[in-house]
Amino acid sequence: MSAARVVRGADGLRRCWWCGDDPLYLAYHDAEWGRPVRDEARLFEKICLEGFQSGLSWLTILRKRENFRQAFLGFDFRALARRNARFVGRLLGDAGIVRHRGKIESVLNNARRACEAADRRGSLADFLWDFAPPPNRRFGGVHPTSPASIAMSKELRRSGWSFVGPTTLHAFQQAVGMVNDHLPSCQFRSRCRR
């Protein structure tokens, strides 16, 4: 299957090929992916879940998302920044999430870095959105990274964040609407632009 084509769903709508026909994936594509997010907890959730997704399918993460939200205190980064090794141990026993010690510890580390960034910049949203490329960025095909995600990765890593490589952050930027990478003939591209 070509990574640069759309498919027509059973409902007659043209969508990006990657969402397939799973109802959860379709709902994510149609109502979330590419739509601008400014809520700090949702931004922190997305950056963490993109880190958890590394090496897995996004559908696996979507299916566990409610469990992740419950386990990680609704992704309230200020609350997570105060958690310790006992919290990590408890989550390693939680079958409802991806039980990867490094990724769980990364969430707590990144929560502390998010607090620092929010305190320094005024809000986590302002800090993260500073890395968004210009809104008129032209669609140039399907790419795993972008200059904006590479710059964001370098700065976050320099600031002590983990599991924030350029591919992960490109997926994050797509998910939270910093870039609109719906394919040109996807019927949801213009909806995200609005």
Residues marked as catalytic: 28, 50, 58
The C-alpha atoms of residue 158 and residue 101 are separated, in whole angstroms, by 22
With vertex at residue 174, the alpha carbon angle to CA 19 and CA 60, rounded to the nearest 5 degrees, is: 45
Find all residues with CB under 8 Å of 69, minimum gap 6, and list them: 45, 75
165 three-state secondary structure: coil
**What angle, rounded to 10 degrees, do the helices at 101-121 and 40-53 form?**
150
71 three-state secondary structure: helix
Please give the single-letter amino acid code of residue 183: L
Element (H, E) at 14: strand 14-16
